[in-house]
């Protein structure tokens, strides 16, 4: 019986001699059993129904240690970090302008691009991958 990729990775990690482990990994790769990156976890954020009604739902997720805003902009779902990169403030969503505005210092971010609109800074709001299954929005994370 074939082992799952994850269990193969654990087996190779038990070898204390890295050369042995490397050669084992090489042969496993040839056999199509190379260690695979861990699959992304899925965390339920909110339902599409709820998002349609509220346009923006902001929730803290201990799993990713971040606050994530789910927004509905021009009919598209967008997920971004809701922690202002300035000093860590929280946002208010302005649906008509598709802007996240920091409640602490008024920094405004474009919900579509994540870029700051009223200051020139070298960073933008982190985006999160997601999938919609049976009307629920799931954040995909490491």
* Footprint on this chain of another protein (rule: CB under 8 A): 63-66, 81, 83-90, 102-106, 118-123, 126, 141-142
| Smallest distance, another protein to C-beta of residue 126, A | 7
Cα–Cα distance measured from residue 105 to residue 123, given in angstroms and rounded to the nearest whole number: 16
Cα–Cα distance measured from residue 76 to residue 91, given in angstroms and rounded to the nearest whole number: 19
Number of residues that this document lists for the chain = 142
Name which of 50 and 110 has its Cβ closer to another protein. Answer: 110
Query: Is the CB of residue 121 less than 8 Å from the CB of residue 85?
Result: yes
| Smallest distance, another protein to C-beta of residue 109, A | 11
Comparing CA positions, the residue from 86, 93, 25, 15 lying closest to residue 55 is 93
Name which of 6 and 88 has its Cβ closer to another protein. Answer: 88
| Smallest distance, another protein to C-beta of residue 61, A | 9
| Smallest distance, another protein to C-beta of residue 128, A | 11
Name which of 72 and 82 has its Cβ closer to another protein. Answer: 82
Beta bridge partners of residue 132, listed in sequence order? 137
């Amino acid at each position: 019986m074939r082992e799952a990729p994850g269990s193969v990775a654990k087996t190779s990690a038990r070898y204390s001699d890295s050369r042995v482990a490397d050669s084992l990994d090489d042969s496993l790769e040839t056999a199509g059993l190379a260690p695979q990156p861990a699959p992304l976890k899925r965390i339920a954020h909110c339902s599409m129904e709820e998002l349609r009604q509220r346009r923006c739902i902001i929730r803290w997720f201990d799993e990713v240690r971040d606050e994530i805003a789910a927004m509905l902009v021009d009919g598209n779902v967008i997920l971004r970090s809701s922690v202002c990169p300035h000093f860590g403030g929280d946002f208010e969503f302005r649906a008509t302008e598709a802007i996240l505005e920091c409640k602490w210092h008024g920094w405004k971010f474009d919900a579509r691009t994540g870029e700051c609109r009223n200051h020139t800074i070298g960073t933008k709001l982190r985006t999160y991958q997601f999938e919609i299954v049976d009307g629920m929005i799931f954040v995909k994370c490491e």
